[in-house]
Amino acid sequence: MEASDTYVILSDTLWVVLLASAPVLILALGVGLAIAFFQALTQIQEMTLTFVPKIIVIFIGLIASLPLIYATLSGLSDKVFDLIGSGTV
């Protein structure tokens, strides 16, 4: 195994982590911005107003994006296990 192989595996791993976490992070960002905008307009500064809707949307988004997360993680693990099986790692 050479340094370029290690670089490819690490870059693929970082890319998969970004792809797997992106749907939930984008949802959290969108809901957080919407709630912050609502709080700024109405001057309601309730802590549960930020926490409860965001956590509900994150759980729903996580359940909805589980097939994408599984597919990306499965593809990476198959690739790494194939490299291990072929003896290049």
* Cα end-to-end distance, the chain, whole Å: 5
Residue 89 confidence (pLDDT): 65
Note whether 24 and 69 are within 8 A (CB): no
**Amino acid at the residue 7:** Y
Per-residue pLDDT tens digits for 49-65:
788 889 999 999 999 99
Average pLDDT of span 45-51: 81
Return the exposure string of 13-35: e unless at least 16 CB atoms fall within 10 Å of the residue's CB, then b.
eeebeebbeebbeebeeebeeeb
